[in-house]
Structure 1
Amino acid sequence: MSEQLIVSFITFMIMSFGTLANLFVFLGAKKMGSMNSSFGIITKNQAICNMVMCLIFLLYVCPMQLSDSQPLVNYSRFLGLSAMTVYEVSNQLHLLLALNRLCAVFWTFHYDQIFNKFNTNLMKNVACLIAITMCIGFYEVLGCHFSYNDISWTFVFLNTQSCSTITWYSDFILNISMVALTLIINLITAYKAGKDSRNLLSSVGVQMSKEQKQRENSFIRQSFFQGASIFAGQVTYYVTAPLVSNSILLFLDASLWAFMHAFEGGIILASNKEMVSVMKKKRLFILFCVDFSKPKGIAIVVVLNNDTSPENYRVALGKQCTMLCFHSRIQFFTSERFGNSIPMFANGCESIII
């Protein structure tokens, strides 16, 4: 009985934290003007996936751990199927986010065409459709049910030879490969973005600021810890859990793949101070609209509203302008849209629309 209370307490605490942390990420993303974009759409859907996973464990698994209710256990395979579907969608959204960043850095001038809102929603829906089809096929049609087990106090696959073979490839190999690919893409993107930023700054004789270095390091840390948490969840379930005899350690090993959805909300918040600060106070936005058809024509708009998207002002002020949204540090940017190279200054740009 004491072990039941311990595992249910662990589940309740971790998943309660995860629900709140990912809700905070979702609300923060909605308030940030720079998140009214393709990247923001994927990020918000990622937070929703994490919240759904946390709520499945909080509202369904935790009561089963406390009560051993047979009706709940009998129908647990449907919640297990839902949890696996959310897990697969989440991993595919991670890969989509990585490709989004890669495209923004390597194919900047084609980014708006590739990752416009229509294409982003289409890719997101395709990811959901693939995950739903795959999970129903493997875990329901083929009978490899993912249901609650009262020994490990969490979801486990049906213990047969055929199911072990299917899940080894459909879950472990597939998701480990996807995590590795996502991590590699993120590291390549971080390296290229940092290199381009340093080259641009050095060309005008400016050193990279401490805040810029911190942002670059934060992105690398976030990518590493997100990838490491997903990787650890897979390894502990398939490799270490079968070797563990202690029931509580078995529960932790077999549940880490789900707990990482809770941890991810904390990782994102810890790596993105802007997301935390935007929830605490209003932020001053200064937008410069430069009309290059009039050499001295510069309009300045000051906005005191976290919910305002810079894109709205670009539309209002005209398409032939470069808009910089900024608030803290010195950076240099160059515009080549109009056939010339013009240095522009921005203090800590959160969103740049060119």
Structure 2
Amino acid sequence: TRLMILFYWILAIVVMTFMLKYVDCSFYLPHGAWFFVFKTSPVCQTIEWYGDFILNCSCVIIVATMDVSAILRVHCITASHIDAGSLKKRSRQRNLVYQAALQSIFFISELITYFLISRYAQNKWQAFALTSVSWCLVNGMDGLIVLVYNRDFRGAILKLV
């Protein structure tokens, strides 16, 4: 897990350094618009598509696949041992699957909304809702999903409050 986290940090730093320094594809807020965009050039559009949209979708899909496969593997190992403790574990595993699936669905939906659907916005309010609002909502929903589906995390938060 630590190697994967390190890999994703390095990947993100390399991609952002490449985009911002070497290719000069900065992310900016144009005058009159209510959402951030990359500089408009063929190179920047290619980087926006592959370096941002496809890369982020791939990361979400990889993490979701790993989550589901790990949970399925644990489920197969514990399938033969059915007792009260196992049923409780299965319930937690099921919650973890739901959590991972919902988080993945929300993040993929946000990426599609931000990068694909927002191009069809007919005014600045629609563009704002399809970009900035969707980005804020998905990040807020991520925390809410963790609180709803993760009993241990919810308990730790309640102890602090």
| TM-score class normalised by the smaller sequence | 0.7 to 0.9
The residue number in structure 1 matching 2:144 is 266
Q: In the aligned structure 1, how far is the partner of 2:153 from the partner of 2:130?
A: 31
The residue number in structure 2 matching 1:166 is 47
Q: In the aligned structure 1, how far is the partner of 2:146 from the partner of 2:156?
A: 14
The residue number in structure 1 matching 2:131 is 254
- Point out where structure 1 has 5 or more consecutive residues left out of the alignment: 1-99, 101-119, 283-354
Structure 1 position 235, deviation (Å): 0.8
Q: Does 2:84 match 1:212?
A: no
Give the alignment partner of residue 114 of structure 2, picking from 237, 249, 262: 237
Q: Is the Cα contact below 8 Å between 2:35 and 2:127 reproduced in 1?
A: no
Give the alignment partner of residue 78 of structure 2, picking from 193, 197, 202: 197
**Equivalent residues in 2 for 1:1-354, closer than 5 Å:** 100=1, 120=2, 124-199=5-80, 201-202=81-82, 206=83, 208-209=86-87, 211-255=88-132, 256-281=134-159
SS class of match (1:187): helix
Distance 1:279 1:243, change over 3 A: closer
Q: In the aligned structure 2, how far is the partner of 1:271 from the partner of 1:181?
A: 21
State the structure with more CA Rg.
Answer: 1
SS class of match (1:249): helix
User: So what's the TM-score if we normalise by structure 1?
Assistant: 0.41
Q: In the aligned structure 1, how far is the partner of 2:136 from the partner of 2:42?
A: 24
Distance 1:258 1:278, change over 3 A: closer
Distance 1:152 1:224, change over 3 A: farther
Q: In the aligned structure 2, how far is the partner of 1:260 from the partner of 1:191?
A: 26
Q: Is the Cα contact below 8 Å between 1:147 and 1:158 reproduced in 2?
A: yes
- Point out where structure 2 has 5 or more consecutive residues left out of the alignment: none
Alignment size in residue pairs = 158
State, as a whole percentage, how many aligned pairs show the same letter: 23
Structure 1 position 232, deviation (Å): 1.3
* Amino acid aligned to 1:250: A
Q: In the aligned structure 2, how far is the partner of 1:217 from the partner of 1:265?
A: 18
Q: In the aligned structure 1, how far is the partner of 2:47 from the partner of 2:30?
A: 19
Q: Is the Cα contact below 8 Å between 1:233 and 1:258 reproduced in 2?
A: no
SS class of match (2:128): helix
Displacement over 4 Å in runs of 4+: none
Structure 1 position 281, deviation (Å): 4.2
Distance 1:281 1:166, change over 3 A: closer
* Amino acid aligned to 1:222: Q
Q: In the aligned structure 1, how far is the partner of 2:157 from the partner of 2:143?
A: 15
* Amino acid aligned to 1:136: T
